[in-house]
Each structure stands twice: as C-alpha cells, then as structure tokens.
Amino acid sequence: MSLPKSLDVARPVELPTPEPDSPYHPRRPYRFSTLCATVENPEHKDQYGASSVPIYQTATFKGVGGEYDYSRSGNPTRTHLEHHLAKISSAAHAFAVSSGMAALDTILRLLKPADAIIAGDDLYGGTNRLLSYLQTHQGITVYHVDTTNPSTLSPLLLPTNNIAMVLLESPTNPLLKIVDLASIAKDVKEHCPDAIVVVDNTMMSPALQRPLEHGADIVYDSATKYLSGHHDLMAGVITCNRDDVAKKIAFNINATGNALTPFDCFLLLRGTKTLSLRLSQQSQTATLVANYLYSLGFPTFYPGLPDHPNRDIHERISLGYGAVLSFTTGDKDVSERIVAGTRLWAVSVSFGCVNSLISMPCVMSHASIPAATRAARGLPEDLIRLCVGIEDSTDLLDDLERALIDAGAVRRTPQGVERVRTTIGEAVAKLALENQGKSVKLQPHEKQWVVSSPGKVILFGEHAVVYGVPALAASVSLRCYAVATPHLGTSSRRVGVHFIDIDADDKEGGFRYEWDIDCLPWKTVPASSQAREVPLDLDFLEEISRVALPKVLGSHAPQASLAFLYLYMVFAAEFESIARPSFTLTVRATLPVGAGLGSSAAFSVCTTTALMLMTGRISPPSPSDSSPGRLSKSLADAVNVYAFLSEKILHGNPSGVDNSVAVYGGGLLYTKSIPSEGKEGGMVSIEGFTSHRFLLTDTRVPRNTKELVGSVGKQKVQEPERVGKVLNDIQGVVENARNVLSGSGPKESLAALINENHRLLDQLRVSHPSLEAVRRVTGAEPYNLATKLTGAGGGGCAVTLIPEGQCSPSSFILDVSFLVRIIASGNPFPMVFFLFMRKLMAISSTDFSSSNLTGLISALESEKFTSERFRTYLTEVGGLGLGILSQPATASDLPTPPLVGSDTLETTFANTSNAELRGWVEALGKWAYV
C-alpha cells in the first residue's frame, strides 16, 4: 500500500481534521467520552510517536537548565497526566499527588494559624480526622454546619470570624446530601471575597460534575476512586483556575514531596480513558438498585430518587446521579447480617471501583469519627453504603435480594418480596420476650435511661472573675438524677416531665405536665447545628412559649419546661412524625435548688443527656469496649454543647462554667474573655485535681447576683487602686490554690487560702451577716475550720473545709464489707476505687472526729437569719462528672425499694428519700462516668 504523496513520513504525524474547518463547517468540541479517551499534549510530543504515554521511571534528569531535573519537582509522565486531568476538569491547572488525603493536606497548607474554615457536617471520616487535628494542633478554627442549607453559613461569613476557606462536598458521603455549590460560592465571594471555596468532587468525578464551572476555586478528587477505577493505585488530584492559587499548590507539593510517582501516573492516565464508559454503566445500575430498595420501603439516600432532598439543585449542577447510594434497615444487627451475606458485593471501604462494594460506614470508613459526633450529625449506625460496579445489574440485584432475605430484612410472599417492619406492637413483644429471659436488642427510644450529673462550687476567685482573674470551680458529690421512661404499648403520643424538686412547695410531688407530640410547633424547629456553640433561636423559643408553655404559677417550672421542649424538638425533628419518641422525664436532685451550687446546670446536663440517649444521638459504652466504665470525651463534648444551650434558655447569658463542671467533673479554671483589655478567655481542666471533703451550708438567704456584681463594679470605678489591689491579691490566691489542688503544693495551706479568699471578698463588701454567722460557728473551738462564701455572696452558701483523718480499725472492718458489696455489684475498677475512697473519707478520724462533725452540723442547723434555719450538706469536691447507667441490673438484682408497693423504677426513684437516693441509684447496675 503506497502512502499519499502529501504525507511526509519524516515529520511527526498530526491528527487529521475530520471535516474542513471553515465558517460553514465549524469543528465542534469533543464530547466528554472522547476527551477521556484522547490523551494529547501538543507541547509534549513523544519523540518516538508512542501511542501510549511512556513511563519515565527515573528520579533525576541529566543536564542543567532543562525542563526536568528531579522527579519530585516534575516528570514527563506526570506532566502528560496533569494536562489530561485539567482538560477533562475544565481547569487551567491540575496536580497529581499520592492520595486524596494528600490532596486535601496540600490544600489545607494554604491556611495559617488563627484562620477559620467552614465545613459540612457529613464529611468523609479522613477529612474529619484531619480537620480535627488542625483544630487541636495548628490553631485553625473549624465550623461544622449543615451545608445543604446555605443560610447556615451566613452567620459565619463575617470579617470578625476570619473565614479563610469553605470546604464542601456534594453529594456528601455517605448520606448523599446535596449542597448548592453555585449558591454558596456566590455568597462566600460576596461576604468573604478572600476566602477560598474548595470542593471534594470524589463522589461525582469530572464525568458528572465540574465544580470549577460553578464558582469553586479549588476542586480535589481521590483519584483512587472513579478516575482510576480499578483500585490498583493510590492517587489524588487537585484542579484550579487561579494562577496565584496554583503557584502556592505547586510550591507545597514540591516542598512536601507528595507528588504522584511516574508508574502510578501511567496507571491513572490509563484509568481515566475509560472513566466515561465505566461511570455511565455504574450510574444506570445504581439507579436500578436505589429504586428497588426504595420500593421495598427502606429509607434510601440517592439523588436520583424522586423525593431526594435538593434533587433539583443536584440536577442543575450535575450531569448524573452517581454510583453510590445508602440505606438504613432500622436495626444495626440486621445491617451487619446483610453486609456479611452478599457475595458479589465485596465488603470493603472506598468506592469507585469496577467491582461492586458494600460497607457499614459507622464501623468502617467513618469509624474514626467519634460515635457521639456521628449521632449528633445524624449518621445512623445501621446505615449501609452500596458502591455499584460494572457487573450485570441483574446479578447484583439478585445477590442483594438474597442477602436481604437471609438477614431477615425482607421476606417472600405470594405477591412478591416485602420488607419486614418493626412496629410499636413488635417492640412490646420484644419486652415480653426479655421478661422470659430472652435477650432482644431494643432501639434507644424503647429503653429506660438513668443519668446523673454533679453540682458545682466556686472555690476561689468569685467576683474577680468578672475582671479577667481566673476562677476555680469544682464538682460536688451532690448530684442531679434523671430517669427517662418510654411510653411503649400505649396509643397516646405524648411526652411529659416530672420535676420533683421544682416548685415543689406549690404542689405535692413537684411539677408534672404532658404535651401532645403532634400539637407541638414542629414547623418552626431550627436546623440542627454542629458548631462548638449552638446559637439560640429566639423565634423558636417564643413560639414554644406561645403554643406549648404551661400556664402555671412559679418561675422555675415553666422555664425548665421550655428548656426541655426546645431540646426535645431539636433532637426529635429529624424523626418521622409517627416515630418521634414518647416518654416521661423524671428529674430530682440531692443538691439544693437556687443555692448557687449549679443545680440548673446539673438539670441541663441530665436533661440533655437523657434526650440525646432517647433520640440515639449518643450511646453509652458497651461491655466489650476497652473502658466500659468511662464515657468518652467526644460524648461529653456533644452533651456540653447542648447543655450550654439549655443554660442560655434558663439564664440568658451563662459563662459556661457550671455546665462544663457538671459534664466533666473534677476541677476547672475559668477565665473570662475581655477583648478590650487583650485578655483571652477559656476553660482549662486542672490535671491531678485532688478530692477534698467540704461542708456546704445553705443560709437560705436569697441573693441578688446582678446587684452584687454591680456594686463591685461601682467600687472599682470609685476606688480603682484599692479594688485593683484586692483583685490582684485574689489572683494570687487562685494560683496558689490551683497548685495545692493539683497536688504540687502543701495541702496544709488550703485552709489559709480559703480564709484569705474570704477576707478579700469581704473587702469587696459582698459578704453577708448570714455568711459571717457560718464563719463564726465553724471557726470557733473545738472546730477551728476554714470557711468562705461561694458564688456571688450576699447570702446563699458557704463552704467549710473538713480536715482529712485516719480510719479506726473498727471502721476499716465495716468498709471491707462495703468494698465486697460494691465489687459484687459488677462496677468497673475505677468506680469501685472511687466509691471505696469516698466511703473512707466519711469515716470518723483522729483529726476531726465524727462527734465534732455531728456537733458542728447541729450548731449550724440551729442558726437562722430568716424564718428558715440553715441547712448543711456534707460533700466531696472534685469528683466524677456526667454519669450514665450503662448496664442496668436485671429485675432480680435491683436493690430493695425503700417503699413497699413501688412497682416501677420511675415510682421508686420519685419516692426514695434524699438520704437514700444516691446509694439506691448507684446500685442499679454498672455506671459509666466522665
């Protein structure tokens, strides 16, 4: 065969133009599949005309001043790949790195300390882990918000928040939430023009979505997924159109050395050629699978379903629905059986492969996100994620159906396959089975939950804290307790409260009230937030007050009801209306209400914890956990966020100290932020905080905190030097007390510091004759004890340090029997140790005998300043924080109720005396504490 004369074989062959390129026959742009299959780079022609880009498997290049010198900085194979990726991504620049997380790390290196980043609340686990690390170690602030609602970003897009980056995913992984990339990018550019909008496009790939076309500044993909398509390499891709950003990214890649290797560049380039074909087949099959599950009644998450939230937005910014979907079964055990029962669907993390994969994100890809955080972000533990491959759709559906049947999730009927559902009636049947000795797994809203939280005492630094001097607060062993009892097997859809100690004088047995769940103002519930501080929605608060607040006498019960309803509705709004939990919350305390000992904060923590347990947002540790007797910090953090919100409802503008002590226990050092004076605020846990025994005396004299604080402020204006010196002296007392309480100072000096702190507070004129009466009694012979006011002063409580002592032999024998009892109850060792040491502290001692203590209590309780006598409470300071009954004893193991005829736990809890309540509650089973 002879060659055409016009073809010069001595020069490189150019691709022929298929048609004459003229005004009458313009050449049309290639379609995406053609772009994928055609690898061309006019500026880098292969010298031998290779049809496949060669692998330049070399670390260095010879010569000086050439285009390449070292493969970390540049390599011809990588250049071809990056040119190709930019072309199919509608980008001016593309970079290939060693993994998707390496791509994100490279991008996040554009941030500097004190910058802030806004990110979604449904993120890939690795992304969440890296952001948490930056927040903890690099001084970067991270705001997690629901990015599916663009309005949640608006309050954060302020110059004062220093927003430097907005990180988005759409669809999110694994709940397939849709984010309006174009709208958010536009808002960010309007309000924070210097902020960089970054999009993780891994779920869609350039084949289905190109975010740079919708206003994003940077897009990255884990090329391990769809771009490669075969799971035979690790790679990440970054694309952008801005030259300034590209320059910084190139510098970071070269400096850190995370560029993709030549061989992996070759593999990735080969994978991209079939991207369009693969994803087209995968998406078609994914649509069939999603419709199949949806038709059976499983809650299914897939953008292609007709009622998927924000489907219209997805169709506006994307070219298809993708090949990832997820669904829930309503039971984690069922989900585990389904995943284990498939054959074609391989159990594996990741997605985007030619083979179909199945996984449970909460135990695999998202396991690095703490369970409490997953619950708070609405990530179901029973969620199954399906990543569809290129197998025949009939085979995949058949394999999935067999696994569903074997797991008991669906069953065959004469009419076909139908889902096996769990109803309220079935839940009651489960309870009946339990009573017959059979173990059945219950859902969170079907369980009875028991929780507790400590009160708090300000030991040092009152009033001075207003002016930036640290205050030292600690937990007390006086606690608030709550029992949440589900309404199972009843037709009423009601939620109720029983506040035993609140407004108890107005009505015997405290305050009771119930609401019809369906009559609550659900349409006004604000969107759930995952920020470190959840804002209070005043409009929603007003609507609850108008529609649902009980019209009763007494100031405490309506406000407590308001806090309860606000949190209940925020947590339960995500449930289908028919599935919203129906229960009664019973709350009581061994600490006095309104005495400045953090009773409202303990109430807020107990209420928040019970509601989060009942709605499945948090869960206690299981017996198989490494520390079954300890609640995780992440769970405590999740509770503290909403407990602080409850405190806002109760008090308006709380400091956050009370709820933090009620959650974390131990001792905290709190400093108020005063920006005008350059003073940064915050709370620091006191490591090694040693527990001490105190006697609290409630004078029952009402206080006006606002008036007392205002009085000190007035003195500071009129006598700045005198008050300034007092405040400085108080700061010295706090610092010395911190050293003593952390174990690095002499314990003997604690009494002197208590007396000195009170003397200084007296100079600020915040003491009260009732408090001085307490000091007179405790400081007299034979007691000679140190006492100070606590809190705002002007009445309220005083704290008296009770010296440590030694046990008598007879007491030790008694406490060995106590030790045997608490070990037999199955408590973990830390709890056994704590209970035993607490018992030892209560024993009579040679330094301060039990007769002295009895005499002191009698003397104090005979005092009175108003018509009511003083009340005393013996307590340990600096003990455990939030507690959850994690493993209840069986009915036969429950302690004998103090009152005969109490047939339910709730009734017994309500009727037990204060003196016996603590011991009775602790013996209900195994507890887990912060």
The predicted pLDDT at position 899 comes to 33
Single out the catalytic residue among 124, 220, 292, 568: 124
Determine which of 334-348, 445-459, 805-819, 842-856 has the lowest per-residue pLDDT on average: 805-819
The predicted pLDDT at position 347 comes to 92
Give the confidence band of 890 by pLDDT, cuts at 50, 70, 90: low
Tell me which residue of 767, 854, 862 sits closest to 802, measured CA to CA.
Answer: 854
Token pair for 401: 């159906």
Give the confidence band of 28 by pLDDT, cuts at 50, 70, 90: confident
Single out the catalytic residue among 121, 122, 200, 221: 200
Amino acid at 871: R
What is the distance, to the nearest Å, from the Cα of residue 880 to the centroid of all Cα atoms in its chain? 21
- Give the C-alpha separation, 670 to 649, whole Å: 21
The predicted pLDDT at position 864 comes to 85
The predicted pLDDT at position 492 comes to 62
Tell me which residue of 841, 755, 838, 857 sits closest to 804, measured CA to CA.
Answer: 841
The CA distances from residue 874 to 792, 801, 861, 880, in Å, are 21, 10, 13, 16
Determine which of 115-124, 748-757, 768-777, 802-811 has the lowest per-residue pLDDT on average: 802-811
pLDDT tens sequence across 582-591: 999 999 998 8
Beta bridge partners of 357: 346, 387
Residue 389 has pLDDT above 50, yes or no: yes
Catalytic (active site) residue 24: no
Range 395-399 contact pairs with CB under 8 angstroms and sequence separation of 24 or more: 395/344, 396/285, 396/289, 396/344, 396/345, 396/356, 397/288, 397/289, 397/292, 399/342, 399/343, 399/344, 399/345
The predicted pLDDT at position 372 comes to 63
Determine which of 93-97, 299-303, 591-595, 721-725 has the lowest per-residue pLDDT on average: 591-595
Single out the catalytic residue among 78, 177, 225, 377: 225
Beta bridge partners of 81: none
Residue % of the chain over a pLDDT of 70: 84
Catalytic (active site) residue 783: no
pLDDT tens sequence across 256-275: 999 999 999 999 999 999 99
Give the confidence band of 675 by pLDDT, cuts at 50, 70, 90: confident
Residue 548 has pLDDT above 50, yes or no: yes
Residue found by looking up tokens 């005393």 in the block: 872
Angle 599-614/556-572 helices, nearest 10 degrees? 30
- Give the C-alpha separation, 457 to 666, whole Å: 11
Catalytic (active site) residue 225: yes
Where does 257-370 have alpha helices with state H? Answer: 262-272, 275-295, 311-317, 332-341
Token pair for 685: 């846990």
Residue % of the chain over a pLDDT of 90: 49
Residue 490 has pLDDT above 60, yes or no: no
Give the confidence band of 593 by pLDDT, cuts at 50, 70, 90: confident
Give the confidence band of 424 by pLDDT, cuts at 50, 70, 90: very low
The predicted pLDDT at position 283 comes to 96
How large is the average pLDDT for residues 92-103? 97
Single out the catalytic residue among 72, 248, 337, 759: 72
Q: Taking the model in full, what pTM does it have?
A: 0.51
- Give the C-alpha separation, 469 to 360, whole Å: 49
Catalytic (active site) residue 72: yes
